[in-house]
Amino acid sequence: MKYLITGVAGFIGYHLANNLSKKNLVYGIDNLNGYYSKKIKIERLKELKKNKNFKFSKINLSNWKKLKNFLKNKKFDAIIHLAAQPGVQYSLKNRRSYFDNNIKAQFNLLEIIAKFDATKKFIYGSSSSVYGEKSNKNETFNIEKQESFYATSKKMCEVMTKNYSNLYKFKSTALRFFTVYGPYGRPDMSPLIFLKSIYNNKKINLYNNGSSLRSYTYIDDVVNFIIKSINNNLFLRDKKNYHKIYNVGNNKNLSTINFVKLIERNLNKTSKIIKLKNRKADIKNTKANIDLAIKELKIKPKISAKLGVKKMCDWFISSSSNFK
């Protein structure tokens, strides 16, 4: 099988490529932008390039000409689109980046799939942020508004992709990721921020006084969700529907302060916590309703928060200075 993964130097992209390239040919593209440290992305790529089944190209998806030249003569069994501009707080002041790297980038990919028949399966990352404060809702819930431009960009990508899929008859799947954590994690996300701060004896800011709930989902479970989505034969046999949405997360959520306590236990340290009010656009409570995934994909998370945090801490302790 031959796959294309965009955002391959990112957290989820790296782990997915690492898994798929063991038995398949994987092409990975990434623009290696500086939203967070390039050192971490280079470290991930270094690991991936050890596998002869992995091929990397540096490409910005908003560059139509370069992307078209790369894709127009290639056919993939699936394209997994994970490249995006993340971050709720960053989107409050940097909306242009979300238009270019989320909306425009996905538009370019969809145009190429439509023009050159590059794949019949398009799986892409969306976000639990589209729900706002409407926690534990299923995929058919009517979402009236988003709390940030990041969430808006993700919802717009879902609407756009559904339209393309119906028009050009290719299968597409939106995966609404809930809080993902684990080895090689994103340094701008709370799990690694907490871990680094506790390890280095620095203060931790806990917004909403540490009471916010998150569906912390270990990266291996997320990768398994994606692979199940790629091989979703029930959906492939459906002659009427061309676009699916699945929530991808742990259906057991945890408060941020209890997540911090799990890290403390594994590092045998006590953190210096500063409790603060909630920030603008931050969601207080999320919980993944994965009933549809359990029913159709026959999958549910296997890694508990206790085990997942231990795995993350073990990796961090033994990792390079690029992460510390």
Q: Which residues are CB-neighbours of 159 under 8 A, at least 6 positions away?
A: none
Q: Which of 3, 150, 242, 246 is catalytic?
A: 150
CB 184 within 8 A of CB 15: yes
Classified as helix, coil or strand, 271 is coil
What are the C-alpha distances in Å from 318 to residues 33, 43, 87?
A: 26, 14, 27
The phi and psi torsions of 174 (rounded to 5 degrees) equal -95, 130
How far is it, in rounded angstroms, from Cα 22 to Cα 176? Answer: 26
Which stretch of DSSP H or E encloses residue 160? helix 149-168
Q: Catalytic residue at 150?
A: yes
* Residue among 65, 43, 67, 72 nearest 57 (CA): 67
> Would you please indicate which residues are annotated as catalytic (active-site) residues?
150
